Amino acid sequence: MKTVLITGGAGFIGSHLCDFLLDRGYRVICVDNLITGSEDNMVHMRQEKNFTFIKHDVTNYIDIEGRLDYILHFASPASPIDYLELPIQTLKVGSLGTHNALGLAKEKKATFLLASTSEIYGDPLVNPQPETYWGNVNPIGPRGVYDEAKRFAESMTMAYQRFHKVETRIVRIFNTYGPRMRIHDGRAVPAFINQALRDKALTVFGKGTQTRSFCYISDLAEGIYRLLLSGVNTPVNIGNPAEMTILDFAKQVIQITESKSKIIFKPLPVDDPRVRRPDISKAKKELNWESVVDIQQGIRSTVEFFRNKA
């Protein structure tokens, strides 16, 4: 039985990866300080004999006994609300946390996978965004704490690969949604669904013409797993290339929830990307992966989760 350590494993994506790997016969160690993660995401795993939870801040030294085959580094605030409220913690987990996780991978001779993000492309001047694009990031803007933390984490990961010969993977995650998202995390999917279910006005920033590409969580987990087991040691985009405007997405949520909500418009946040769409040619070629869950199916599943939480 192989052992996987997942930092940030109590978060939205991290907890789904815990489930995914447990289902496939792995022993899973989840490490999380619960700043943005939730114990609720792990309740059903506590009875699993192959699941272990350790409450720990990975910006401090990580000490794990025994063998580790894989380390998946997912610890980080990920929503704008979180990283704007926790800017120093975001920078520290992207730098010190990544350094500690890589040091552990080196010690254990484990394969290391970094959860990077489409935000490393910033407000892109190229659409769709291929992995070869270097990005258009404002390093001193309010979003820079997240963007630059992830860009640094990628550089650190590649340095450990080249200098210490650590086996590494980098996944650039595009907008992902599904059950276990936090209602008030500030991102479009939970915000719109929560507003629609209460017949409140959906808040669209700017004119709603900015685009996003929404990938359902099960598709993302499959893509990450294929990358982990592959020999690809350079960044890979994982996301849904079906691009849509935020305004159109808001209208779909209203339609699916059969809500009486209207749409209101507020000023666009600083440095909010105008376009976001992954070029997944590399994932298709190297991993034989592409998203399969269509947006309406995914929204319905996510809506049911939020209905049950209400």
Which one of 26, 83, 121, 146 is the catalytic residue? 146
CB contact at 8 A, 232 and 201: no
For the chain, domains (ranges, CATH) are 3-177+214-239 (3.40.50.720)
**For residues 261 and 250, what is the distance between their CA atoms, to the nearest angstrom?**
10
pLDDT band at residue 189, thresholds of 50, 70 and 90? very high
Amino acid at 208: G
pLDDT of residue 56: 98
Span 190-229, pLDDT tens digits: 999 999 999 999 999 999 999 999 999 999 999 999 999 9
Between these two residues, 269 and 61, which has the higher pLDDT value?
61
pLDDT of residue 296: 94
pLDDT of residue 160: 98
Span 71-85, pLDDT tens digits: 999 999 999 899 999
CB contact at 8 A, 121 and 143: no
Active site residue 133: no
pLDDT band at residue 310, thresholds of 50, 70 and 90? low
CB contact at 8 A, 170 and 236: yes
Q: If you average pLDDT over residues 94-106, what whole number do you get?
A: 98
pLDDT band at residue 184, thresholds of 50, 70 and 90? confident
Half-sphere exposure (Cβ direction) of 70: Cα atoms closer than 13 Å: 23
Average pLDDT over the chain, rounded to an integer: 96
Q: Which residues pair with 243 in a beta bridge?
A: 213
Q: If you average pLDDT over residues 6-12, what whole number do you get?
A: 98
Span 114-152, pLDDT tens digits: 999 999 999 999 999 999 999 999 999 999 999 999 999
pLDDT band at residue 183, thresholds of 50, 70 and 90? confident
pLDDT of residue 271: 87
